[in-house]
Amino acid sequence: MNKSILEGLGKLLCVKSLVTLALTAVFAVMALGSGISQEFMTVYAVVIAFYFGTQSRKAPGVKGDGGHDAG
């Protein structure tokens, strides 16, 4: 197999990704079933925001501002 595919699968298996995928599956089941509670929606939003926030910091080729907050 291609080395980049294997590296991508390896990164997908980290704990953070597994938790995010599990929560997304539960979200889908709840959306199709009985409905989504406000508490679950809050937890899901926080986890997704954390996941994509940390992914954007690790984006290759993107230079940060040295860790300084803009606000």
Q: What pLDDT is stored for residue 59 in this prediction?
A: 59
Residues 32-39 have a mean pLDDT of: 88
pLDDT value, residue 70? 44
pTM equals 0.56
Summarize the confidence of residues 38-59 as an average pLDDT: 82
The full length of the chain comes to 71
How crowded is the C-beta side of 65, counted as CA atoms within 13 Å?
4
Cβ(51)–Cβ(16) below 8 Å: yes
Average pLDDT over residues 11-33: 84
The residue behind tokens 């995928």 is 21
In terms of phi and psi (left: phi > 0; alpha: psi -120 to 50; beta: otherwise), the region of 47 is alpha
| Arithmetic mean of pLDDT, 12-40 | 85
Sorting pLDDT into bands at 50, 70 and 90, what band is 3? confident
